[in-house]
A = this chain, B = another copy of it.
Amino acid sequence: MYELTINLEPGSKTPLYEQIYDYIRQEIQSGRIQSGDRLPSTRALCRHLEVSRSTVELAYEQLLSEGYVEAVPYRGYFVAQLDGLCQLDRHTRRDAGREEKPPVRQYAYDFTPNGVDLKSFPYNTWRKLSKECLSDDRAELFRLGDPQGEYGLRRAICDYLHQARGVNCSPEQVIVGAGSDYLLILLIMIIGNRHRVALENPTYTQAYRLFENMSCEVCTVDMDRKGMAVDQLRKSGADIAFVMPSHQYPLGIVMPIRRRMDLLNWAYEKDGRYIIEDDYDSEFRYKGKPIPALQGYDRMGKVIYKGTFSKSIAPAIRLGYLVLPEPLLEEYRRKCLYLSSTVSKADQLILQKFIEEGFFERHLNKTRALYKSRHDTLLGCLKEMDAEFGISGENAGVHLLLRFSEKYSEEELIRRAADEGVRVYGLSGYYVEKEKKREEDEAVILLGYANMGEDKICEAVKLLEKAWKE
């Protein structure tokens, strides 16, 4: 038996039982007390240390529950077998400095195609709604919600989609989730990954990576000027087509009705074929009224519709939705209903109120007007510019494309713009198979204007003119 002589500090912030526990644990870890050794009885140790018996009992209980010692009835406490014990080290920790990132080049002007104007976000409304939600619902708001999303929000999304996008659905078909990426993951879990998925080329490369990451077979289908080439899709052997008919990213093509029908007919030809319609920025269209979603034309439950509030409200609103056709809804319920919702009830309720009380519509009208005038300004400035390019993709969305003649190279154009402090984006980056030579071997530059004021747009275009002058 050991005589444990512990220098207890009665005035310390560490309770006495913990000091005893710490001491014995360290003795065991260092090997000074070995496995099989018997500890002093609680009675003996409390007398020895002149502390209360319950203090010692508490220390022993802690050692017991962590497995350092074992209690043998009628015999006492024995140090447990601990070969290969790794020393516990709670006090060394890697220096918690910020991760090092490569230095980022600073630009005075950035034509990012992924921008959103955040100045127009209705902060006061959002704050007011958020306050209301937190005051009203209290406990209910912090209980676990419906895995599919709150019914009220799904109903509001449904009504909005029906009116604004011609989508035919009921709230039962809507699944709310934390952003596009998550919803695509969820969708793959619903349909399974034994599919061959065809994406447009160029495309939203993040979707491509995600399908790959989820172990789907992926392929690309070329675009002609009306969208995904359906003949090539038919030859690809794919059973899932991922398309952006309202405004293809990045080409900005609006798929004409005829091509939409061709695509639907492709899906109708075989059981198990589906079209994923990513309607990511359909809210912004500058000529005529918005073209209804492909989903609205679908008579056979073949279109999976996917939307988001990241573009239309703000990227940090981590909220998007899927609209599943009936057959897949069954699959969802069977396979994935156990997955808890990824969006907090509070955020869902705020958004529901934002839509139902008409703020969303007002916000959309406001930003649509704002983007339209930026769009017009940019087009105006570009048309005055003395340069050899054609403009395309300018009827919708928040970016357009400049197509240069063959004598230009994309890198060269980007580099020269950068030298003037203007960041522009090349189309090449959106091609999945970059080695595959593109049909038209031209330099194409993307200019996004959502996040740039009209003055800035004019200044930036002047700099581009200077940069690209021969």
List residues of A whose CB falls within 8 A of some B CB: 17-18, 21, 58, 61-62, 65-68, 80-86, 88-90, 92-99, 118-119, 121, 123, 126-127, 130-131, 134-135, 138-139, 141-145, 151, 155, 158, 162, 166, 168-172, 178-182, 185, 189, 193, 206, 209-210, 213-215, 226, 254-261, 264-265, 287-289, 291-292, 296-299, 310, 313-319, 335-336, 338-347, 395
Is A142 a contact of B127 with CB atoms below 8 Å? no
Shortest Cβ gap from A208 to chain B (Å): 10
Is B340 a contact of A318 with CB atoms below 8 Å? yes
Is A84 a contact of B265 with CB atoms below 8 Å? yes
Nearest CB in chain B to that of A121: its residue? B142
Question: In the complex, which residues of chain B have a beta carbon less than 8 angstroms from the beta carbon of A313?
Answer: 142
Question: In the complex, which residues of chain B have a beta carbon less than 8 angstroms from the beta carbon of A213?
Answer: 189, 335-336
Is B65 a contact of A254 with CB atoms below 8 Å? yes
| Chain copies in the assembled complex | 2
Is B206 a contact of A316 with CB atoms below 8 Å? no
Nearest CB in chain B to that of A100: its residue? B172
- Residues A257 and B339 in contact in the complex (CB < 8 Å), given A127-B135, A134-B127: no
Is A258 a contact of B67 with CB atoms below 8 Å? yes
Q: Which among A145, A166, A343 has the highest number of chain B CB atoms within 10 Å?
A: A343
Question: In the complex, which residues of chain B have a beta carbon less than 8 angstroms from the beta carbon of A97?
Answer: 170
- Residues A264 and B99 in contact in the complex (CB < 8 Å), given A18-B289, A287-B61: no
Question: In the complex, which residues of chain B have a beta carbon less than 8 angstroms from the beta carbon of A289?
Answer: 18, 62
Shortest Cβ gap from A325 to chain B (Å): 12
Shortest Cβ gap from A127 to chain B (Å): 4
Q: Report the 6 A-B pairs with minimum CB-CB distance, sorted nearest first.
A: A67-B256, A67-B257, A62-B288, A142-B314, A178-B342, A144-B315
Q: Which among A66, A215, A226, A336 has the highest number of chain B CB atoms within 10 Å?
A: A66
Question: In the complex, which residues of chain B have a beta carbon less than 8 angstroms from the beta carbon of A182?
Answer: 178, 182, 342
Question: In the complex, which residues of chain B have a beta carbon less than 8 angstroms from the beta carbon of A344?
Answer: 316-319, 347
Shortest Cβ gap from A438 to chain B (Å): 23
Question: In the complex, which residues of chain B have a beta carbon less than 8 angstroms from the beta carbon of A335?
Answer: 213
- Residues A96 and B158 in contact in the complex (CB < 8 Å), given A80-B256, A82-B261, A127-B135: yes
Question: In the complex, which residues of chain B have a beta carbon less than 8 angstroms from the beta carbon of A83?
Answer: 261
Shortest Cβ gap from A379 to chain B (Å): 16
Nearest CB in chain B to that of A293: its residue? B90
Is B315 a contact of A343 with CB atoms below 8 Å? no
Shortest Cβ gap from A185 to chain B (Å): 6
Question: In the complex, which residues of chain B have a beta carbon less than 8 angstroms from the beta carbon of A134?
Answer: 123, 126-127, 130
Is B84 a contact of A338 with CB atoms below 8 Å? no
Is A139 a contact of B162 with CB atoms below 8 Å? no
Nearest CB in chain B to that of A97: its residue? B170
- Residues A178 and B257 in contact in the complex (CB < 8 Å), given A127-B131, A189-B214, A297-B88: no
Is A121 a contact of B92 with CB atoms below 8 Å? no
Bound complex: CA A18 to CA B99 (Å)? 55
11 additional contacts, CB 8 Å, given A66-B291, A90-B296, A130-B134? A58-B288, A61-B288, A65-B288, A82-B261, A85-B257, A86-B298, A96-B158, A118-B139, A142-B314, A144-B310, A181-B340
- Residues A85 and B169 in contact in the complex (CB < 8 Å), given A131-B127, A210-B339, A291-B65: no
Partner of A316, one of B143, B168, B339: B143
Is B179 a contact of A342 with CB atoms below 8 Å? yes
- A sample of 9 inter-chain contacts (CB < 8 A) reads A61-B288, A84-B265, A86-B297, A93-B169, A93-B170, A98-B171, A144-B316, A206-B339, A317-B344
Question: In the complex, which residues of chain B have a beta carbon less than 8 angstroms from the beta carbon of A166?
Answer: 88, 90
Partner of A143, one of B118, B178, B342: B118
Is A340 a contact of B179 with CB atoms below 8 Å? yes
- Residues A178 and B178 in contact in the complex (CB < 8 Å), given A127-B131, A189-B213, A316-B344: yes
Nearest CB in chain B to that of A134: its residue? B127
Question: In the complex, which residues of chain B have a beta carbon less than 8 angstroms from the beta carbon of A144?
Answer: 310, 315-316
